[in-house]
Structures are given as structure tokens and as C-alpha cells.
Amino acid sequence: MHETEEDEVIERCRQGDLAAYKMIYERYEQPLLRTACRMLGREQDAEDAIQDTFLKLYKGIHGFKRGSRFSTYLFRILLNACYDILRKKDKADFKDIDAEHLPVHSSHEVRHSLAEAIAMLPRQMQACFVLFAVEEFTTEEVARILGVSAGSVKTNVHRARQKLRAWLSESTRGDEA
């Protein structure tokens, strides 16, 4: 979907055209699902977050400024929906888990447990890392989505990398043992 095409779709969304919302869904389904899965850890929760995202998008589409980047706006809504779910699940007080406390798995489980390890990162760090390293948004885009400074995004991504490297190192050691 080109930018002008996206603008037209957004205009149709403003008029309440559900088919236009479906086009948005089809365009962003995978990145939204992946991000929500990484943030929440469970696919069911991720689906709830996306449903909530579209409902909030429907209610707030008139507040979206023309000329702004839509993906940034949409992901901002998604992350807020994820935070709401986390708060409901009483996970609001996310612990800053040290690398040595992250789960250790054998190599064939690495992919699954990397997702778990990401889900256990502190919330802000997790969001910065998922958007930057998994969904490949730029530092500035992540900063706009999360409403923080670019410097804060860089620091969080750097610390997340450190933790995940340490966790990967521990996993490998566990595997070798």
C-alpha cells in the first residue's frame, strides 16, 4: 500500500467504512501480531490487544493528523492496548530481570525461549527492542511511537541487547553442559 493509497484508505476509515479497516488490518496484521506476541507472550492476549487496537482506532481516527505517519500512530495504539492488558494481568510492576534469571533452554528451544526472554524484559526496554530490532522501525520512529527521546530508545535497545546476549550465553552454556 503506497502512502497516497493509505491516505485514501484512512479517509474512508474516517467515514466509518469497515472495508477500509479491513485493508488496514490486512496491511498491518503480521507486524501487529508479532509485536503484540512479543510484548504479551500469549497469542490469545495478542489477538485481544489487536482487537482493542482497532476499536480504539475506530473511535479515535478523527484525531489522527493528516500528514502524520500512520504506522507510528497505529503501533502507539497497539502498545497502549498491550500495556492495558499487562496492567489487567497485574504485570504492571515488571521486574528488571537480570540475565542470569532469564530462563535457560537447550538450543532447539532457543527460538521459543528467546521470545520468552524478550517478554521478561522491563516493559519500556521490551517495547524499544521489539520495535527496533524485530519490526525494524528506526530509532526516531520508535521514539515517536513510545513518546520518548531517541536517546532513551538507543539506551534501552543497547541494554536489552546486553541482557539477551548474556541470556544467550547462559543458554549455550546450559546446552553444552
Partner 1 sequence: MSCEQLHKYEAGRMSAEEFGLHVQGCAFCRKQIDLDARLDTELKSLKQPVRAPHLWDRIEKSLGEEQKKSEIQRKGRRLLRLFRKKWFLLVPAAAMILACLGLGIYLGLKQRTPQSGILAQKTLEKIELKEGEYIQAINELEKTARPKLAGMDLQMMSLYRDRLAAIDSQLERCKEALASNPANAHIRRYLLAALQDKKQTLAEVLGYGN
Q: Which residues bind partner 1 (CB under 8 A)?
A: 16, 18, 21-22, 25, 29-30, 33-34, 37-38, 43, 46-47, 50-51, 54-55, 58-59, 110-111, 114-115, 118, 133-134, 158, 161, 164-165, 168-169
Smallest separation (angstroms) from partner 1 to the CB of 67: 25
Residue 162, H or E segment: helix 150-176
**Any residues with CB less than 8 A from the CB of 100 and at least 6 apart, and which?**
166, 170
Nearer to partner 1, 4 or 44 (CB): 44
Smallest separation (angstroms) from partner 1 to the CB of 118: 8
Q: How many CA atoms lie within 13 A of 20 on its CB side?
A: 16
Q: Cα dihedral sign for 42, 48, 54, 60?
A: negative
Amino acid letter, residue 3: E
Nearer to partner 1, 130 or 145 (CB): 130
Smallest separation (angstroms) from partner 1 to the CB of 93: 26
Q: What angle do CA 44, 33, 95 make, to 5 degrees?
A: 70
Nearer to partner 1, 22 or 101 (CB): 22
Nearer to partner 1, 59 or 95 (CB): 59
Smallest separation (angstroms) from partner 1 to the CB of 73: 17
58: cell is: 475506530
157: cell is: 535497545
